[in-house]
Structure 1
Amino acid sequence: MTIRYGYGTNGLTDLRLDDALGLLADLGYDGVGLTLDHMHLDPLAPDLAARTARVASRLRELGLGVTVETGARYVLDPRRKHGPSLLDPDPEARAARTRLLVRAVGIAADLGAHAVHCFSGITPPDTSPDTAWQRLTGSLAPVLEAADRSGIPLAIEPEPGHLLADLADFHHLRVLSGDPPPLGLTLDLGHCQCLESAAPADCVREAAPWLRHIQIEDMRRGVHEHLPFGEGEIDFPPLLDALDNLSDTGYRGLTVVELPRHSHAGPELARTSIEFLRKHGPSGHGPASHVPSHRSPSQHTPSSR
């Protein structure tokens, strides 16, 4: 099985992190998309190093891969969702987001993560596109330097309603930044269904050289709402075939189920999601015949996250 499935902890926020990781291992997931947030691994905790070491040990114990995600809603500002962003008019506020991402790179290195995920943010009112792009490239420069030193790719995600909203915007950022080697792409396949002109499977093939992280869920055209599998409009068999063929391009990262508004049903959705993906995936990707020995069976809006 060449597709390595994970599940995002932003869809398991009612569980302790240790319990969430154990659940995913028991269900047969290959890894986890770990959102740095107060309820799991708090990037602002005074004992962050010790906490990170414990999580790294647990991941090794369970045989789980990891990608570090940075989309926590209120981790920096308890009053502004995703604030401050990399586009904030206040230079000090932008710097706070940059520092968080640099810290995330360090955490990722300590965890042995495949990549660090981020997104641009929404363009503030009365801000020209040129100014917004300048802020974005300037804010990301120290993060890319840290990523280069650590050997951990930075995977920026096109997010509906944000400055960097689609694949064309990602390539625009690459050009503006001088195409730095650490800069890669997080491809959310639901976002492809939502707003890209190409089908999600074609987006995978087009984006393959830059892919460092993948998120998956169901979605409808023009509506940015992350849906459980089977509740949207994505045609999954050809999409999963395209993902299966990514191994030929050298992609070794995770494909992480992204259901950030479904924590109330997280354990059940984690189970039904992996069953759906196995059922609809390429031939031979049916349900696992055994559980590894270390796992006991036990309308288009700015952002819906």
Structure 2
Amino acid sequence: MTDPAPFRLAYGTNGLTDLRLTDALGLLADLGYRGVALTLDHMHLDPLAPDLARRTAAVAARLDQLGLAVAVETGARYVLDPRRKHGPGLLDPESADRARRIGLLTDATRVAADLGATALHCFSGHRPAGLGEAAAWDRLAASFEPLVAAATAAGVPLAVEPEPGHLLADLAGFHRLRERLGGPPALRLTLDIGHCRCLEPAPVADCVTAAGPWLAHVQIEDMRRGVHEHLPFGAGEIDFPPVLAALAATGYAGLVSVELPRHSHAGPQLAAESIEFLRKALTDAGVRHGSEVS
């Protein structure tokens, strides 16, 4: 066996939307998770409702009581616009619309800092019809500049996720943005393991190794080549022991969070099954984990 994995197994609250947040956190702690990826949404720490600071403090106390680390995610589908998924976004034609997304992410940075979060997750959004690629990257860089400044001031890594179908869709896109902004230390990477299988040209374990120096957050689920569908473990094509071994070898010390946002109807059952699957995969990889060393 190698040294214990430095990362913590976690579960995303976007896969537990039928539970109250306090109940979801208690469930994850009872199952043995050591972290949670908290999506700011109307049912879980609504970023637009009154008394955000007070409610954030209550969540921080609950996390501390349960011994759970947290990353803050910002992928709520309709938190800003009840009619447009993930709208408005950082690439929208109207500057006022882009400012609304920037404002939400800036508020989320403060929430992440108040929670002591390991990272603040975000993504680029889709390129609008009629917007050329070069102009889209110009707009994305301009939108990220105030976000990087806010993250730097707050001391929270801003972890952008390559998302299939978005302008920043892959690891090459992450490096394009990072280099465009001058390589700011606060700009880091959210790596979704399933997305690597979906569209990256390299094997998944090789993607993990290549991403290692910039990792601040990791999402994990099963997936098939060419199909962007988050699947429970065993329902896709990924061989997880080599992937987890590669991740442990990078020294990554953040959260590895199960990402099943379309399975909330079976969230408690899948949370239980997922941690058992990951524990076995870690054992098969020769990587000790929390349940073996605590």
TM-score, structure 2 as length reference = 0.96
CA distance in 2, matches of 1:111, 1:236: 30
Q: Which of 170, 180, 183 lines up with 2:187 in the alignment?
A: 183
Kept after mapping to 1: 8 A contact 2:248/2:287: no
Distance in 1, Cα, partners of 2:165 & 2:183: 24
Pair 1:37 & 2:41 matched? yes
The equivalent residue for 2:115 is 111
Aligned position for 1:122? 126
What do the CA deviations read for 1:43-65 (whole angstroms, capped 9, x no partner)? 11111011000000000000000
1:261 aligns with 2:262: yes
Alpha-carbon offset, residue 246 of structure 1:
2.5
Write the distance in 2 (CA, Å) between the matches of 1:39 and 1:268: 20
- Counterpart mapping for 1:17-166 below 5 A: 17-166=21-170
1:283 CA displacement: 2.6
Query: Cα deviations across residues 150-189 of structure 1 (Å, max 9, x unaligned)?
Result: 1101000000000000000110001111111110000000
Closer/same/farther in 2, CA of residues 164 and 138 from structure 1, 3 Å limit: same
Query: Against the structure 1 CA distance between its residues 289 and 174, is the aligned structure 2 distance closer, same or farther, given a 3 Å change threshold?
Result: closer
Q: Work out whether residues 275 and 287 of structure 1, in 8 Å CA contact, stay in contact via their aligned partners in 2.
A: no
Cα deviation for residue 288 of structure 1 reads 2.7
CA distance in structure 1 between the aligned counterparts of 2:54 and 2:291, rounded to whole angstroms = 35
Shift of 1:82: 0.2
Residue deviations 1:33-90, cap 9 Å, x none? 0000000110111110110000000000000000000000000000000000100001
Q: d(CA) in 2 for partners of 1:286 and 1:142?
A: 38
**Aligned counterparts of 1:286 and 1:29: Cα–Cα separation in 2:** 11
Letter in 2 for 1:95: A
1:227 aligns with 2:231: yes
Report % sequence identity. Answer: 67
Question: Aligned partner of 1:244: which letter?
Answer: A
Question: Unpaired runs of 5+ in structure 2?
Answer: none
- For 1:219, the aligned partner's letter is M
> Structure 1: where are the runs of 5+ without partners?
293-305
Which AA in structure 2 matches 1:264? H
The residue matched to 2:105 in structure 1 has which SS? helix
Q: 1:244 to 1:125 in 2, by over 3 A?
A: same
In structure 2, the CA distance between the partners of 1:208 and 1:289, relative to structure 1 (3 Å rule), is: closer
Identify which range, 183-192 or 278-287, moves more after superposition: 278-287
**Which of 264, 277, 291 does residue 288 from structure 1 map onto?**
291
Aligned residues of 1:84 and 1:93 also touching (Cα < 8 A): yes
Q: Is 1:243 aligned to residue 240 of structure 2? A: no
Could you say which residue in structure 2 is the equivalent of 1:296? none
Structure 1 253/230 Cα, relative in aligned 2: closer, same or farther at 3 Å? same
Q: Is the 8 A contact 2:73 2:120 kept in 1?
A: yes
Of the structure 1 ranges 138-147 and 10-19, higher mean CA displacement relative to structure 2 is found in 138-147
- Structure 1 residue 243: Cα displacement: 1.6
Which residue of 135, 157, 170 corresponds with 2:174? 170
CA contact (8 A) 1:73 1:82 kept: yes
Aligned counterparts of 1:159 and 1:253: Cα–Cα separation in 2: 20
Q: CA deviation at 1:284?
A: 5.6
Contact persistence 1:152–1:182 (CA under 8 A):
yes
> Could you tell me which residue of structure 1 aligns to residue 198 of structure 2?
194
Q: C-alpha displacement at 1:286, in angstroms?
A: 7.0
Distance 1:286 1:32 in 2: 17
1:303 aligns with: none
Letter in 2 for 1:260: P
Q: Distance in 2 between matches of 1:37 and 1:287?
A: 30
Does the residue aligned with 1:288 lie in a helix, a strand or coil? helix
Q: Is the 8 A contact 1:27 1:271 kept in 2?
A: yes
Shift of 1:287: 8.4
CA, structure 1 residues 264+211, in 2 after alignment: closer, same or farther (shift >3 Å)? same
